[in-house]
Amino acid sequence: MREITILSGKGGTGKTTITASFAVLANNPVIADCDVDAPDLHMLLHPKTLRTQEFTGPKLAEIDHEKCVECSLCQKICRFEAITDFQIDPILCEGCGTCAVICPETAIILKDRISGEAFISETKYGLMSHAFLFPGGANSGKLVTLVRQNAKEAAEENHCELILIDGSPGIGCPVIASVTGVNMGVIVTEPTVSGIHDMKRVLELLAHFDVRPFVCINKCDLNQQNTKKIERFCDKLNINIVGRVPFNPIVTKAMVSEKPIVEYSPESVVSQRIKEMWKNLLGRT
């Protein structure tokens, strides 16, 4: 089973747009949207939910007022200032459990807190594993891990040979959970100063986890000088640039129509470049 993660060092580079197009071009993949903080791949793939699963994040402390003698130890020890007048603020509580340990009357217990939902859905391109972290919810990396586990189980049950993973932007915990153990990482970057900087950070992350890197330069014709910088940098490190996608307003029209660009306008230059990029990737797996 092959796993390919499409990621970027910053938001808005076209990562999800390209992932959606890869889902159209691939042969019965399992698609995983690991951007659980702000998922949007479903807007292009229109999944129909088959199964919903609650996600439990950090614990939430709760005071049993029948046992509580109001000694104030919990209020004094809580570094998050989550306890006031012997009431626990669910927003401030981090579920660390210190208050429960320090309470001499064992009047504080830790309860499960539902922080999000994970889904297995069906699209016309293949099964999809995705999730949504509730606003203010924590442990997005743990939820990403659940999304990937569900994707692997779905792939095994349905004899699928490929998992396409739409990672979240940046290099934080959700991204780490998106790339560990995959076969290759495709970095979608732009020919801008911030795009180049963030591409380098993601390349360092992939190198740390021994993931084979590839680069796609999106909107490559907007700044030829910066595109050349990316090409020289990748050539120096022997990193393969698998795609160069030009800027075209038709991509925005496809997004407004809620369709992958290769389906909305299959003969456009953008679609042709994405198709070429997909063939390049398949030749290197």
Domain ranges, ordered by start, for the chain: 2-56+117-282, 60-111
Cβ atoms within 10 Å of 1's Cβ, excluding its own: 13
Distance (Å) of CA 1 to CA 30, 58, 135, 155, 157: 11, 32, 34, 8, 12
pLDDT digits (tens, 9 = 90+) for 174-185: 999 999 999 999
Residues forming a β-bridge with 124: none
The DSSP call for residue 48 is E
pLDDT digits (tens, 9 = 90+) for 206-253: 999 999 999 999 999 999 999 999 999 999 999 999 999 999 999 999
Q: For strands 60-63 and 108-111, give the pairing.
A: antiparallel
Helix (H, G, I), strand (E, B) or coil at 244: strand
pLDDT digits (tens, 9 = 90+) for 246-281: 999 999 999 999 999 999 999 999 999 999 999 999
Which token pair is 228? 């050349």
CATH code for the part of the protein at 2-56+117-282: 3.40.50.300
Position 88 scores a pLDDT of 95
Within 13 Å, how many C-alpha atoms sit on residue 161's CB side?
4
Report the alpha-carbon distance of residue 9 to residue 177 in Å, rounded: 15
Helix (H, G, I), strand (E, B) or coil at 93: coil
Report the alpha-carbon distance of residue 216 to residue 274 in Å, rounded: 10
Position 284 scores a pLDDT of 78
Q: What is the pTM of this model?
A: 0.89
Is domain 60-111 in CATH 3.30.70.20, yes or no? yes
Percent of the chain residues topping a pLDDT of 70: 100
CB contact at 8 A, 145 and 177? yes
